[in-house]
Amino acid sequence: MSLVNIKLNNTPAATPAPVTGPEYWRSLDQLADTPEFRTWVEREFPDDAAAVLDGNSRRTMLKIMAASFGLAGLAACSRPEYRLAPQARGREDYIPGAPYNYTSAFALGGHAAGIVVQTNEGRPSKIEGNPDHPASLGAATALAQASLLSVYDPDRSKAVLEGGKESSWEKFEAAVKGLSLGDGSGLRFLSGTVVSPTLDSLRTEALKKWPKAKWVEYESIARDNERAGAMLAFGQAVNLHPQFDKAKVILSLDYDFLGADYPTPLATKLFSKNRHVDTEADLEKISRLYVVESQFSLTGANAEHRLRMQGGEVQKFAADLSAALGASPSGGATSGDKRGRFLAALTKDLKAAGKEALVVAGPRQPAIVHALAHQMNQTLGAATVTYTKASSTDRVDSGVDALKTLTGEMTGGQVTALIILGGNPAYTAPADLQFGAALAKIANSIYLGAEDDETAAAAKWHLPEAHYLEVWGDAQSTDGTVAIQQPMIEPIFGGKSAIEVMAVLLDSKDRKGLDLVKNFWTATWPAATKENTWRKTLNDGVIAGTQVAEVKVSVDSKRIQAAPAPAASGIEVGFVPSATTWDGRFANNAWMQEAPDPITKLVWTNVALISPAMGREKGWKDGDMVALTRGNMKLEAAVMVQPGHADNAVTIALGYGRPRAGSVGTNVGYNAGLIRTSDSFWFGQGFAIAATGGKEILASTQEHGSMEEPQMVASIKPRYRPLVRETTVEEYKKNPKAIEEQSEVPELDSVYPQLKWEGLQWGMAIDLGACTGCNACVVACQAENNVPSVGKDQVLRGREMHWIRMDRYYVGSVDDPRAVEQPIPCMQCENAPCENVCPVQATTHSPEGLNDMAYNRCVGTRYCSNNCPYKVRHFNFLDWHKNFLERRRIEPELMQMVYNPDVTVRMRGIMEKCTYCVQRIQEARIATKTDNRREFTGEGVVTACQQTCPADAISFGNINDPNSKVAKLKKQERNYAMLAELDVRPRTTYLGRLRNPNPELEAS
Ligand code: SF4
């Protein structure tokens, strides 16, 4: 078969082909064809939008406008201070107005990845992945992208507080000098997972100076079970490196490695490598992913086969599988039900894959499940996972048990001084520990934190923590690679980093971050090359030679004596990291609050997710309020029926419902921490759930932008439109037209003469087989193009502004569907229906095939939006920027700092949409001229969404250049134009997703 059977210029097939394939659905409302769903299909905005808003909507809207841009400024916010020296003389290589890029590092949850930060006139304005860093390989996650906005968050702490009153760094230093810490018996340190070698060295120094002191590491979302599992299996601390690109058959045991469980882009990078199909041989490389889980995760959405079960049942499943593979002696017999069939087929498949098999376990699962995964990999002879020695943790107590011990010491009066370096434990600690109350009892408590948050309220001293883009530091990835964290700007609100505070406590000679980091690293470098090596390190973003060597480890089966898993009984409540606010540290970040959850598509809240069966049994619908109780703990939250969720289980994301999170994030969503205890840290049973009778309006974007056929005549059911398309590898091999034939395209002739699109012509191809739906492109586009957030109330009106949206479709039964994600930017149609109806020609075509918008011509009739079949145009109903400045009395300087200066900031009454990052095209064109190159070929232009995509799912370029990647992809037979039957000839086309299901399970 051929993959390059060219469909000339994407013109529709001459002969209509029958519609084939399964039908996909967006939501339960679509399945039921409710009037609400029809409203979203047939109208741009619902008629009754105003009615669904509560009385506070206008106040809330104004608050969110403040959140939209830089979240900038409260009335009390002072003008930012700059201490960078002005340039009295010009520098030879400095071009005023040109952006400059610097390497740095972004760390989260014990992982670190290299980034490249673009600065404009000394202010950071965009984050990308560092291609030279092994944990990012040029990509960045949505959270890394959004961390930029937090630099300009006016709710960040601005002053040293003592007992809640303004103090100063000088007074703090004097107070520290007055502390009598002796041998450190009453001294405790509490931090997140330390990934900074410089901080680690200061920790060593501190524990030497105060030998009886203790250092506890605690993360609300941590890798503790992974570490404990490695200790159990191998008897030593090792880091695990799954090589997803080398695996043919992958089993995830409750591990959302394509989503919130893996905070760097690496897993997606590796996994998606095998999902790109450029040649026939690539068809053989497509891996097969099995997922066993409770919540419907992003990884589950990308799975060929998914088995839903309570989180507590996964251990039994792993033990049964291990026995079936011959890795361990015990295990239950397989049955003929779905679980039994799944287990049998999976066992066969893993055995057949042998060294190309891979079993991974997620952070929620206990150590024994991780150990069983190691054991299975060893039995299978899997060459898909490598190990490196973990950095020594023997000086450190870590995890929830260590925090429990610390809290006990605090309440027992054994702690006289507690130094907390970030992390907000008063919010993130398990509810049963009552950490905040214990903290309030400590005479000398010092909290370094970015916000005046829950922990700051209980600590004696609160020190403002600088943003990581404001200070020097370093970060080590799990493979040992160290990246230097360079500051892009002086601390805007005068904060300090953890290493600077440690230097104060230790009364070190070096007090400045640069000195601490540079002296730590260069101390052992040869003097002659020291400076050059340092400069090269800053340029590359990684310290050469820091990656540690692989170690060979062997599972000691005798150590893996699995205690019988507790039998599942009653309702289980599971806790998961939020894809948007993580553990709550992004709660005050409007970009993340408004980034729709990849599966639920909810914004500005979390919910208690339940299965459709539970919804039916209890009679609950989305937004119904329930109370989850256990003992004296109680949480009231809205429920949402999640297709594919495990029965008798509830999943709730962490990171919401914070009582002190700033003007954007305070009391948004529900605080799962109220019912999270140290013995049910990730999931637990024995919860009671009952309706309270209340109702909450949930803002979900899942039906916005619905492109289904409108109902023109009441008696005629609209035809199904195959918007998202996929087929199996086997089917594709047999019939390469399997994707194309899913749509019926009549022969179309235009009454207008057709343009000849010659020369440089821009186009985009999005590979649905590679895209995982991670949302990174959505946030990257928002950062690049100055796209505002609008707030929950405005989202309810359908007014969200994202230039690229993620549509999520289900297929299959309500109880157990599969899911597919589809990014939707502007399609840049050649026969653009928006242009025909614009009365003032504000939207017109460029000679290079771009559907341009002239903002200063737009009069806001919105005809173009009404005529866009893809619903990708967005109207500025409100003047987010001007209202924001006037009503919140914001300092314009601070607000403007987050903007990309190359992109116009749109005002009220203007239509906007994706431009294919035209500013980047223009920048490359200008560079061609200034370099005295004759012809601008379009080579090297990369859109923001394309640049950040960890799956490399987006290709962009000159479609008339036969050697360009995008042109080659568009020639593939699985390339299709969405809604081709409308003859709008979109320049953005899709490559149908190819799945590789196990025929045994697909047939059953
Ligand atoms: S296209 Fe967007 S959602 Fe899909 S993998 Fe790439 S960045 Fe993530």
User: In a mutational test of the pocket of ligand 1, which residue from 777, 803, 948, 993 has the highest number of ligand atoms less than 8 Å from its CB?
Assistant: 777
The pLDDT value recorded for residue 562 is 61
The pLDDT value recorded for residue 702 is 84
Q: What is the residue with the minimal CA distance to atom 6 of ligand 1?
A: 949
Distance 257 CA to ligand 1 centre (A): 15
Q: What is the residue with the minimal CA distance to atom 4 of ligand 1?
A: 771
Distance 248 CA to ligand 1 centre (A): 22
221 vs 167: CA distance, rounded Å: 33
User: In a mutational test of the pocket of ligand 1, which residue from 775, 809, 952 has the highest number of ligand atoms less than 8 Å from its CB?
Assistant: 775
Q: Which atom of ligand 1 is nearest to the CA of 598?
A: 3
Answer whether 774 contacts ligand 1 (Cβ < 6 A): yes
Answer whether 775 contacts ligand 1 (Cβ < 6 A): yes
Nearest partner of 449 among 156, 108, 112, judged by Cα: 156
Indicate the pTM of the whole model: 0.91
Q: How many CA atoms lie within 13 A of 271 on its CB side?
A: 32
Residue with tokens 């509560």, as numbered in its chain: 54
Distance 765 CA to ligand 1 centre (A): 12
The pLDDT value recorded for residue 164 is 94
Q: Which atom of ligand 1 is nearest to the CA of 954?
A: 1
517 vs 495: CA distance, rounded Å: 17
Q: Which atom of ligand 1 is nearest to the CA of 780?
A: 7
Nearest partner of 672 among 685, 682, 664, judged by Cα: 682
Distance 908 CA to ligand 1 centre (A): 30
Distance 952 CA to ligand 1 centre (A): 8
The pLDDT value recorded for residue 260 is 95
Contacts for 745-749: CB closer than 8 Å, 24+ residues apart: 745/12, 745/13, 745/16, 745/17, 745/980, 745/981, 746/12, 746/16, 746/981, 747/12, 747/14, 747/15, 747/16, 748/12, 748/981, 748/983
Answer whether 951 contacts ligand 1 (Cβ < 6 A): yes
Q: Which atom of ligand 1 is nearest to the CA of 775?
A: 3
Distance 113 CA to ligand 1 centre (A): 18
Distance 449 CA to ligand 1 centre (A): 32
Q: Which atom of ligand 1 is nearest to the CA of 774?
A: 8
The pLDDT value recorded for residue 743 is 87
Answer whether 777 contacts ligand 1 (Cβ < 6 A): yes
Mutual angle of helices 57-68 and 880-888, in 10-degree steps: 100
503 vs 515: CA distance, rounded Å: 11
Distance 299 CA to ligand 1 centre (A): 13
Answer whether 103 contacts ligand 1 (Cβ < 6 A): no
- Tens of pLDDT, residues 415-450: 999 999 999 999 999 999 999 999 999 999 999 999
User: In a mutational test of the pocket of ligand 1, which residue from 266, 954, 988, 993 has the highest number of ligand atoms less than 8 Å from its CB?
Assistant: 954
Answer whether 823 contacts ligand 1 (Cβ < 6 A): yes
The pLDDT value recorded for residue 334 is 62
Q: What is the residue with the minimal CA distance to atom 3 of ligand 1?
A: 773
Sequence length of the chain is 1004
217 vs 18: CA distance, rounded Å: 60
User: In a mutational test of the pocket of ligand 1, which residue from 767, 771, 782, 946 has the highest number of ligand atoms less than 8 Å from its CB?
Assistant: 771
Are 516 and 508 in contact by the 8 Å Cβ rule? The answer is yes
The pLDDT value recorded for residue 73 is 32
- Tens of pLDDT, residues 818-845: 999 999 999 999 999 999 999 999 999 9
Q: Which atom of ligand 1 is nearest to the CA of 773?
A: 3
Token duo for residue 542: 């990684």
Answer whether 776 contacts ligand 1 (Cβ < 6 A): yes
Radius of gyration of the chain (CA): 28
Q: Distance from first CA to last CA of the chain, Å, rounded?
A: 29
Token duo for residue 408: 């006990």
779 vs 781: CA distance, rounded Å: 5
pLDDT along the chain (1004 residues), means of 10: 36 44 74 69 52 44 44 33 58 82 95 96 94 96 96 92 96 93 95 96 96 96 91 93 97 97 96 94 96 97 97 95 83 73 96 97 96 97 94 76 97 96 97 96 96 96 97 96 95 94 91 94 93 95 93 89 67 96 95 96 97 97 96 96 97 97 92 96 94 95 82 78 93 94 83 87 98 97 93 90 95 95 96 94 95 94 94 88 53 77 90 96 91 83 97 97 96 95 95 96 72
Distance 946 CA to ligand 1 centre (A): 8
How far from 677 is each of 400, 495, 563, 631, 858, CA to CA, in Å? 10, 33, 22, 11, 55
Q: What is the residue with the minimal CA distance to atom 5 of ligand 1?
A: 771
How far from 359 is each of 110, 242, 255, 553, 695, CA to CA, in Å? 21, 9, 10, 16, 42
Distance 771 CA to ligand 1 centre (A): 5
Distance 775 CA to ligand 1 centre (A): 6
Answer whether 953 contacts ligand 1 (Cβ < 6 A): yes
The pLDDT value recorded for residue 3 is 37
Torsion, Cα of 783, 788, 793, 799 (10° steps)? -100
Strand blocks (E) in 169-211? 187-191
Distance 805 CA to ligand 1 centre (A): 10
Q: Which atom of ligand 1 is nearest to the CA of 804?
A: 2
